[in-house]
Structures are given as C-alpha cells and as structure tokens.
Structure 1
Amino acid sequence: MNEQQKCRTESPSLFSYLPDELIPAILVRLPVRSLLRFKSVCKSWHSLISDPKFGKSHYDLAAAPTHRCLTKGNDSEIESIDVDAASLHNSESCVVKLKFPLPPPRIRYWVHGPNLPSDVEFVGSCRGFVLVAYPQGDVFVWNPSTGEQRRIADDLDEMIDLYPIGFGYDRSADDYLLVLMQVIHLNFYDSYPDEVANVHTIIRLFSMKTNSWFDQEGTYAQYVDMGSADLKIAAFLNDALHWLVTSYETKLHVIIAFHLVQRNLTEIPLPQVLVTELKKKFWYSLRVIGECLSLCYPGYPGIKDSTAEIWMMKDYKVQTSWTKLFVFSTCNLPRNAIHPICFTKHGELFCSYGSGGLMIADDKGWHLLDESTKWPEPHMVFDEDRECMLPYGLYRESLLSLPNDFQQENEDDQLMISLVETSEDDK
C-alpha cells in the first residue's frame, strides 16, 4: 500500500472515493492555516504541501486569499489579526499569537535584555513575506505563516535610517529584492545647500536569490527624502516600489516608482490640488489600499477639529484619477490621528490609531477594536520627524518559500572541495 492509499484509508469519510490526482486540486484551493494543519495527516500530504511548486500554485489559485495584520505584543510575541474575519469586531477571536524571528544574541541582549526589543519595525511585505528590521541594523525576511526566515547579513542600521527602503518581487527572475534608494538626506539638504548639487541618486538592490548586493546602473534625477520615518518605507504595487520624495529640480513633492522588472525609475504626479500646497510640510503618507496608490492624511495631533482623509489614484499613473475618497473626524482618538491599513472584504476600512490601537471605519462612523490603547508609549511619541511611526505590518498568508540558489551553489562548492580533497587523499 503506497502512502497516498494509506492516507485515503485513514480518512475514508473524506477521500475514499477521490482519484489521487484530484486531491492536490482540492488542497490547492484551501486556506493556508488549514493546509498547515493538514501536513500532519500523512507523509504524502506533508510532502505535497511542503513542495515549493505547490506553494506557488496555491498562491496563484487561492480562491479567497487571507490577509492578516501584524501588531507588536509583549516581549517576543506578536499578534496576527485576520482583517477579513467575520468576527473582526470581537478581535480576540481572530487573533493568532506568533513569535518574531529572533535576532542574534548580541542584539537581543544588548538592547533589552532577553526579550525582543519593543521598537522592531515592519519595513514592507510582499507575497506573504514581511521585512522585519531590528535595532542596530539586523534585517530579516520572514514568512509569518510558515515560520521561514532569512537574515540579511549586512549591517543596515545606518542605511535604513538614512535612505528610503523597499521590499518587492521581480517576477521575471522569481527573486525577492530589497531596494535602497540613496537620495539626498533632508538634514544634509538643509545644512549644506551648496553641496547637494553633487549628490546623485544611487539605487542599491539586495537579491534574496543570490544573497548579494549590487548597484543598478543608470543616471537618475536628484531627489530629497521627506524626513519622516514612515515615508522611507515603499509601497509595492504593479511590480514597482513607490516613495514620496521631493524633486531637487522643481522643489515639489512627487511619487517616484522603481519598476523591479524593467529596472527603471519614473515619476507619478500627486493630485493637482495638493501640488499647490507643497511649499508647506507634507503630512500625507503613501499606502496601497484597495489595490490602488493612496495618499493618507492622518489628522493633526493637538488640533481640536482634526480630520483625516484618503486620496486614491483609481487609474494607475493618471493624475486626473486622484479622488478624495474618505474624510474622518479624529477629534476623539488618541493623538487625533489614524493610519489606514486596508479595506476588509466587508467594505470597512481597517486602521491603526495612537501607538498601535486598531479600529474599523465606514460611512456610519468608526469602532475601536482595542480600547486599551489610550496614548502612545513614551518611545512612540509623535514628533516632527516621526509623526507617522507605524507599529503594524499587513501581509497575505502564503506557503511560498524564498529562493535559495546561493545555498545550492554553496553546497555544490562544498561537494567539489570534498571531491578534490578525496582525490588528493587517494594519491
């Protein structure tokens, strides 16, 4: 009796009359969390569900993808919330406790003793993977669904603080890329205005497939970063990473898009009504909401009648398609500010407020999911440079695995060394 037949024999009520080739066709359409449980049914199912090819097929064919939001818990715990759950108003029933990928001991103990540092940041997400940055520069690519993780070896602490960063997928090479956009730092621009003319834009990429850095060749226009920490984090959409920056030539704020397949850098205009206001500090942040680029104004801390608003670009790269979609009063929220995350499948807007409290909003008003968060913690206080610090990460559940060509190359190299050494011993 083969393993597949044994599996069917052990579960007669479900699979006694199903052809062997039909079982993968059924499994590939089930939710990720169900499949992770089904890996323990039998060896053949474990092998099938663990196969990277099955993971890719599942991602492409999933009938109802599940999106979850990561929020920081205590110590080394993190909460993963199903934003599409019917019981979202009762958030406890849709929360799963996870463990962060742990940094090396020197980082973990140096910063906060044996516990996870509380200021870990979610830098981006793509196809089920989340880019997690720890204090002192350690960066991990992590799949919260499967637990797979990989540390990017280089010390990125200074680069992450200085430059816009993004994480996305190059489908032409089946590769996940970390991108650093080395532009003019705002403080340098303010302090040394005569010297910035010689500072050129450099695009650096880290390939998860080859485990190496390389610079993208080309001459690019000059840009200045916006100064705010969350504006350094890219929005990934349509194979491109997007940032809000300032054009050095025009002195106006603009969206830049770096296409990961075509490897070119283009500009996307802001709504015309906002372009006229760019002489002032730009308080909007860039998000992908409802599969569209969106500009989100969180509300202004300390203003009694503060309101938040969302602009959405309904037709990609078409300036006239920018539409003001929502306006919310934030006068009764901590710090008078919200940060939209995504739409739920029920048409509600899932948001973060304060230092990590969660809420949902629609045309009838808003409802807090966690009323225990009254005010930001001391280290999360909103200030001029970090007024939009975001303690959350949105991701889609997936069974995908990271490419590991460099690991195979290392194994091949080790095998060759072993064969050479054996040959020398034989002599």
Structure 2
Amino acid sequence: MENLRVMNGGDIPFDVLSRLPTKTLVEMRSVSKGWHELISDRSFVQAQFQKTGLTLSGFIFQEKYQKCLDDIKTFSYMPVNADSKVQKMVLGFLPEDVVILASCNGLVCCRSCFPTQRPTIIYVCNPLFEKWVSFEVAQLDRFSNIVLAFDPILDPVNTSTNFRIIRIQQLENEQEELHYTFKIYSSKTGTWKESNEVCYSKGNLLKNKGIYAKGILHWLTDTDQILAFDTEKELSLLISSPIPVLEFFINVPGTCIGESMGLLHFIMICEDGIIVWYLEDYFETKWMLKHSKRLQVIEEENPRIFFKLHKSMQQKLVAGMDPLMDPLAFKDEVLLMRVYSTIYFYHTETGKVMEVCNVASLGPNPYVDPSVIPYSLSLVPLNVSLSRFDSNSNINPSEN
C-alpha cells in the first residue's frame, strides 16, 4: 500500500482506481498514506475525470429576501441520494458567510454577503476538500450576474487548475439599445479583461443563470431566447427556444435550462406535461425532443402525491400568482421541480418522481427567485497560497 505513492497511467493500480467514482475514492483516501497521495495526484485526478466524468451529487438552494437588500446567509443542500435528507448548511470553512453564485465541474463560486463595508470578495472553492481561492471585485451589487467556467478536459488539471469568472451586464447605448457586455477573469493571469463581444438583446436573464456546457455558457431570457457565450472564442449567440413559450398556452409554461451529457437542455412544464429537448446544433438552432410525459400519466402513476394535477394546470392563473408547477434546475437527467408547495426530483430517464421536502422547510422566502444550483463531488485541487485571510486563500488583483 505504502509503495503506491507516484504512479503513471501505465500502472495497473492507477488504471483500476482511476475508474472508480469520486465518492468511493474520497473514502479510499483514508486507507493509507500511499493511497492518499495517489488519489490526490493531479495526473490521477485528470485521468479519473476523463474516464468517469462527474455525476450529480445534489442541488444547492438559497433564498433571497423579497424587499430587503441584505443577503440570506444560509442555504439548503438536497442530495440526490434517496437515503439522504435535506441539510441546512453554510460553507463554514470560508472566512465569512457567502451567497452561492454558480458551480461548474465540482467547483463552487460564491461571493461575500451584503451589506459590507469593504470590496466584495469572490470565492472559488472545492467544498469536498474545504479549499478555496479568492479575489476582490469592485462595484459589485446584489443583482450582479457572476458565473463560473471550468472544464478539466478543455483545460487539463494535471499541472494546474485554471478557471474563468464571467461577469455579464446589460447596458444601454446612446441609441437606447439594450445590450450585454462580458468581463472575464482568468485565474491563470489573475486579471480581468473586457471582452470586445457585445450581444444586443432586450431580454432579461432568468433562473439557471450561466449553465456551462462544453466551453459555452448559457442564460435563459424572458424573450423565448437563450443567450450563449463561448468563453474561449469570446463570441455570443442568441438561440431560439424549441417552442415559443409565450404563445399557445393557457398559462405561461414554467421553463428552465440545464446540462446533461455535455449538451444544453431546455425543460418546459405546461398543461400538456413535462417536455425536455436538447440542443443538437447551435448555428441551425436544431432542438431534438428527448422526453415527454403527460400530466395525466404522472398523476395516475403517483396518486398519493398528486391530486387533480392536470385539472389544476388547465385553469387560468390569477395575475401575480406563483405557477403550480415550476422547474427549478436540471442536471444529468434529474429535474428539480416545485409542485404546489412541495419539492420533487423528476428523473427523465425513468419518469419516476421522488419527494424531497416541503417548500416551507427551506425558509420563509422560498418563492422569491431563489438560486438553485446543481453540485457534483470532484477531486480537482485548487492552487492556494498565503493571504490576509488564511493559507487556504489567494487574493488576486481587483477588477478595473
């Protein structure tokens, strides 16, 4: 066991262990010092990611106050493991309370809470190992849109862990044209830069902001379009949704976007049922229908959970009323959705429904545009160096 220390891709133990899932490898790290060193080695981490990828571990749910500009400092974690319960959490290893902004391939991006008397701090961390890097960002407010782009395949982690932070802002030019601009922070250089790319759109960004799939970030808007931004080429694109959700329905359908198998997915819940598409071609905007299940069938299969679900969805909602069914987030064929006042997992591969919790257990403001973010366990290490906070942290130059 102790002689396993440094191996390469040609060694049998290296090859066998690198095919195991992350959760198993985390437990095996405690077997011996040799196993710990092997599983922590960057070449091993890269090989394990290439062979097994990442699987969804759960969803992070964080509320917002409706009128108060202060941030809620706690969040709920919903494991997809049927044997695990919803947990109230904070990232206690960080030096302060934070708001969750995004997650990408096992890394989580968050910011310091408002109100604050100093510049806002952005943290990128791996909660599994309780490690982080951090840097200051000037002129950030509660409504700023910050997302994380990180891909161990496109940017291998066998030598270092490099990620990008993208700040997207909607501005208005002299001709009163609304457009989006993009600022990019690179952990490799420790600096921000303003992208030359500009995307003209009147659409407002909705939930599931910054879904990452194969080098491209995606934002759902309220204009039947999805805004896409290629983080490498720094090019943007407006993609039409697979169906105009603002037409043809009794009530405006609930929608969200997500990622599975490296592909962008569009999920819609309407009076007809739960419908899922995936984007096959960006430039031709070619969507493929992947899953569809009528509400009557879901109700018949789950009579103890749902009562008159289809009939209720057929009725016209009162203006300002929360939708009866709301898709909150999607990842790896798992849809997190709210039906009435209960949260459920819906598995698109099997069509099975699993109750998670009552909305009231998530806090007093669960309906007010919550942040709902998928999370996957990852062995990816972070480069860390001494800072004014702790040896875990790394403060880089502020945004210009």
Per the normalisation by structure 2, the TM-score is 0.68
The amino acid across from 2:165 in the alignment is L
State the shift of 1:273 in Å.
4.5
The amino acid across from 1:396 in the alignment is S
**Larger RCO, structures 1/2 (Cα 8 Å, 6+ apart):** 2
Answer yes or no: is the 8 Å Cα contact 1:138–1:157 preserved in 2. no
Matches within 5 A, 1:197-208: 197=176, 201-208=180-187
State the shift of 1:157 in Å.
4.2
Which residue in the other structure is 2:104 paired with?
Answer: 126
- Summarize deviations over 1:234-291 as a string: whole Å, max 9, x none: 1111211112347xxxxx542222112222222323225558679x988533222454
The amino acid across from 1:175 in the alignment is N
- Summarize deviations over 1:85-122 as a string: whole Å, max 9, x none: 5xx3x444xx78975155544xx4xxxxxxxx7xx43x
Which of 35, 46, 61 is the matching residue for 1:45? 35
Which residue in the other structure is 1:316 paired with?
Answer: 281
Answer yes or no: is the 8 Å Cα contact 2:224–2:244 preserved in 1. no
Counterpart CA distance in 2 for 1:274 and 1:72 is: 25
Which residue in the other structure is 2:292 paired with?
Answer: 326
Which residue in the other structure is 1:169 paired with?
Answer: 150
Which of 44, 48, 56 is the matching residue for 1:67? 56
Matches within 5 A, 1:229-244: 230=207, 233-244=209-220
Partner-residue secondary structure (3-state), 2:227 = strand
State the shift of 1:138 in Å.
4.4
Q: Call closer, same or farther: CA 1:277–1:254 in 2, change over 3 Å.
A: farther
Counterpart CA distance in 2 for 1:241 and 1:44 is: 39
Which residue in the other structure is 1:28 paired with?
Answer: 18
Counterpart CA distance in 1 for 2:31 and 2:46 is: 21
Q: Call closer, same or farther: CA 1:277–1:154 in 2, change over 3 Å.
A: farther
Answer yes or no: is the 8 Å Cα contact 1:210–1:406 preserved in 2. no
Counterpart CA distance in 2 for 1:150 and 1:234 is: 20
Answer yes or no: is the 8 Å Cα contact 2:133–2:383 preserved in 1. no
Q: Which has the higher strand share?
A: 2
Which residue in the other structure is 2:133 paired with?
Answer: 150
Q: Call closer, same or farther: CA 1:328–1:195 in 2, change over 3 Å.
A: farther
State the shift of 1:31 in Å.
2.2
Partner-residue secondary structure (3-state), 2:37 = helix
Indicate whether 1:4 and 2:3 are aligned: yes
Answer yes or no: is the 8 Å Cα contact 1:342–1:351 preserved in 2. yes
Counterpart CA distance in 1 for 2:181 and 2:189 is: 20
Answer yes or no: is the 8 Å Cα contact 1:313–1:319 preserved in 2. no
Counterpart CA distance in 1 for 2:327 and 2:248 is: 21
Which residue in the other structure is 2:318 paired with?
Answer: none
The amino acid across from 1:67 in the alignment is L
Structure 2 stretches lacking a partner, 5+ long? 63-71, 115-119, 296-305, 313-321, 392-400
Matches within 5 A, 1:227-306: 228=206, 230=207, 233-245=209-221, 253-271=224-242, 273-274=244-245, 284-289=255-260, 291-298=262-269
* Larger Rg over CA atoms: 1
Structure 1 stretches lacking a partner, 5+ long? 8-19, 109-116, 247-251, 300-305, 412-427
Per the normalisation by structure 1, the TM-score is 0.64
Which residue in the other structure is 2:364 paired with?
Answer: 378
Answer yes or no: is the 8 Å Cα contact 2:253–2:269 preserved in 1. no
Partner-residue secondary structure (3-state), 1:379 = coil
Indicate whether 1:337 and 2:319 are aligned: no
Q: Which has the higher helix share?
A: 1
Which residue in the other structure is 1:112 paired with?
Answer: none
Answer yes or no: is the 8 Å Cα contact 2:228–2:236 preserved in 1. yes
Q: Call closer, same or farther: CA 1:288–1:206 in 2, change over 3 Å.
A: same
Partner-residue secondary structure (3-state), 1:202 = strand
